[in-house]
Structure 1
């Protein structure tokens, strides 16, 4: 049985070579999914189709049992302004060549979201970002505003949908989908599972990792820091975005701006941090929370995303509710003033979190769904 997966996978990130954020890809859960597909026994012939912006020849390589096709010269921003008409044309050609029994498309914020609507057989759509929900808390770039308007059509065209969290599934249901989405957690990369958390009790460091934007709550973080000018701990910021200039202009002491880092530099930063702060206003995951938890970092989290289910207040982190600057400042002060609490929260539920975010579970879940969709009774 042939499965064609349309996704933004980084081929050079397979087999333990993942470079992570800053390495040319954002879908950091996909390399380990492909690796697990390779390791597990299953009856499916899997072909991945991705796109790249650079001009040149298309690429077609085989790594182990899986095939990876790269379509070159693909401008996703322009394509969305064309309502994905160009993507549909190119994807139809690939589908005609492969003749898959099932298509699996990843992301309504990517042109791949058009695939279920152009394929006549069973289609699976995995939601990566809930653009309709995101647009309610922050202004999106023009092409993503267009994508958000197309999102209801994209999700309704799919035979079946998966989301990485119950929060994400709730947002998708509001769009009038045919069936209730399946919740499939995206596993953390083994590099994070293998890392040892070693915070220094004499060097209190809190980490923020993500886009420096309103949706991620970075403005709230800056406002909260202004409420605790006499803090004795350091905030280290991993990531870039439109609010970086505003954050630097605030002139707050004790902030180190690291920019976007590859995993080879991100993991050492996480290993020495006391905790991670994630004041997001809307997020299907986020992945960095899973990476933090499989390592052992406690997380200061909001309830506005999948992380509401990952972090239990007073158990493996602290919840900020309601999400505002005073509440966030209070949570950071409580965590960063008590190293014993840091260790207790970090170790609590660690084994359960490591099991929950094991990428093997993600792969098994998708293989099960493929089998259910291709079973004779499903056709």
Structure 2
């Protein structure tokens, strides 16, 4: 099978991490030949990770997000290499590939819905455009049941096309390290989705109970969040680390992982924390309740409830036995349900069914 994966860029994010892990772990799979196409130049460490392993990357190097010339480039690329399947991730790649599909023959198109929410659903005018674009895809992979339900609610005709394949994460040996941080949050700071501001406000309520907190990630809101941290007089307790390649090590140096998101699909950062047996506190939104069993493999809190979040953090810092119990259960779930091997098997089965 020849598969072309198309994604906007390799900037740091959950969808990008998932795709990179998939490509790396299927490199030696004789059944599947994977290529990658990125629309916008993004020479991040994820990009170089793939280059180092000789993954074939077509960089269309667009400067404008809505440059329609990309459609012609995609058509030429797909027809020239005679792919069996084009697997598309994120917007606007979704729209561009939907149009390109009209001019490519004997190719099946698949799209992954990575979130239970997008801003287009606030405007009815986009319902027509979304309807037309989804029509071009043979299957819509949703990363959680919540993502599927929200998509079908938006466009009911997709109920027969949509299916759930949970994200996967490599499970590696856990190294015991000295705990430097009480709390770690990993997430993009390109929007307010991850609720970093909520975490900062909750920390102010229990500032005498914490010593050091780390926030890993970058984006346009970083400066505003640093200003909020300073205004709350938490500058000596909260470190903004930027994008990091060593998330696995940071997790091993952390007591608790926190993700107070406003909405989610199925966050890769939570899977990474589970794979390191971390006790987790996360918002009860999107696909998170499908990952975390409240009180068994983590603690779920209501979104934007700073007091509830603060109380949960304080509880786990005080009760190390309970925190360890949650972490061990999360690790078991990561192995049994959310490993990269399980994800690859599910995706390969889908690909084969489409080619038949």
Q: Specify the alignment match of 1:2 in structure 2.
A: 2
The aligned runs of 1:354-365 (5 Å cut-off) are 354-365=335-346
State the TM-score, normalizing by the size of structure 2. 0.82
Counterpart of 2:276? Answer: 295
Q: Does 1:168 align with 2:165?
A: no
Q: Name the structure 2 match of 1:219.
A: 197
CA contact (8 A) 2:298 2:327 kept: yes
Q: 1:195 aligns with which of 165, 174, 177?
A: 174
State how 1:130-209 maps to structure 2 within 5 Å.
130-132=116-118, 150-176=129-155, 177-178=157-158, 179-190=160-171, 193-198=172-177, 200=179, 205-209=182-186
Q: Secondary structure at the match of 1:315?
A: coil
Matches within 5 A, 1:299-310: 299-310=280-291
Q: Is the 8 A contact 1:117 1:158 kept in 2?
A: no
Gaps of 5+ in 1: 11-19, 56-61, 137-145
RMSD: 3.2
In 2, Cα distance between equivalents of 1:227 and 1:217: 16
Instruction: Give the corresponding residue for 1:59.
Output: none
Cα distance 1:349–1:282, how it changes in 2: closer, same or farther (>3 A)? closer
Aligned pairs for 1:1-379 within 5 A: 1-7=1-7, 21=12, 27-42=16-31, 44-53=32-41, 68-75=56-63, 78-80=64-66, 85-107=68-90, 109-120=91-102, 121-132=107-118, 150-176=129-155, 177-178=157-158, 179-190=160-171, 193-198=172-177, 200=179, 205-212=182-189, 213-241=191-219, 242=221, 243-244=224-225, 245-252=227-234, 255-264=237-246, 266-321=247-302, 323-375=304-356
CA distance in 1, matches of 2:321, 2:98: 51
| Cα deviation 1:80-138 (Å, max 9, x = unaligned) | 3x5xx22212111112212323221112x2425421342144211112345526876xx
Label 1:256 to 1:321 Cα distance change in 2 as closer, same or farther (>3 A). closer
Whole-Å Cα distance in 2 between the matches of residues 135 and 273 of structure 1?
Answer: 37
Between the aligned partners of 1:149 and 1:251, the Cα distance in structure 2 is 48
What's the CA shift for 1:300?
0.3
Give the match's secondary structure for 2:16.
Answer: coil
Contact persistence 1:103–1:116 (CA under 8 A): no
Q: Which residue of 2 aligns with 1:58?
A: none
Deviation at 1:167, TM superposition (A): 1.9
Cα deviations by residue, 1:318-346 (Å, 9 ceiling, x for unpaired): 11036411111111111112212211211
TM-score, with structure 1 as normaliser: 0.78
Mark the runs of 5 or more structure 2 residues left unpaired by the alignment.
44-49
| 1:180 Cα offset (Å) | 4.3
Number of residue pairs matched? 337
Cα distance change, pair 134–274 in 1 and its aligned pair in 2 (3 A): farther
Structure-2 separation of matches of 1:207 and 1:342: 14
Q: For 1:369, what is the secondary structure of its paired residue?
A: helix
Give 1:297 deviation, angstroms: 0.3
Distance 1:73 1:148 in 2: 29
